């Protein structure tokens, strides 16, 4: 499988590590880490946080696209933003 040129790092709850969606992330070259503290954590706070649960794991692809757009903004979009700022 082709490795992703714009890899992301995922913090995944241990109960979701064996899902096909998370396994696919690893095959695509993303970094997937887990932490047992997630079992006792009620709220994760941060500028790049997305909530994906067992019920919403099918939305992982959409969250990945959004996270990638945040981490790797397109140069084309940056030019548009600059021209809008000077207009």
pLDDT tens per residue, range 28-69: 999 999 998 888 888 888 888 888 888 999 999 999 999 999
The pLDDT of residue 44 is 84
Distance between CA atoms of 25 and 55, rounded to whole angstroms? 18
Selection from 2, 9, 14 nearest residue 48 by Cα: 9
Q: For residue 78, is pLDDT > 60? A: no
Could you tell me if residue 69 is inside a domain?
Answer: yes
* Domain-embedded: residue 2: no
Domain hosting 78: range is 9-86
* CB burial string 38-76: b at 16+ within 10 A, e below: eeeeeeeeeeeeeebeeeeeeebeebbeebeeeeeeeee
Does some domain include residue 4?
no
- Find out whether 21 and 60 touch, Cβ atoms under 8 Å: yes
Number of domains within the chain: 1
């Amino acid at each position: 499988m082709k490795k992703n040129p714009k890899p992301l790092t995922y913090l995944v709850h241990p109960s979701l590590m064996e899902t096909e969606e998370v396994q696919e992330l690893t095959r695509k070259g993303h970094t997937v880490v887990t932490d047992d503290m997630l079992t006792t954590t009620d709220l994760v706070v941060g500028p790049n946080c997305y909530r994906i649960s067992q019920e919403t794991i099918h939305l992982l692809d959409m969250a990945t696209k959004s996270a990638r757009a945040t981490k790797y903004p397109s140069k084309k979009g940056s030019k548009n933003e600059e021209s809008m700022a000077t207009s």
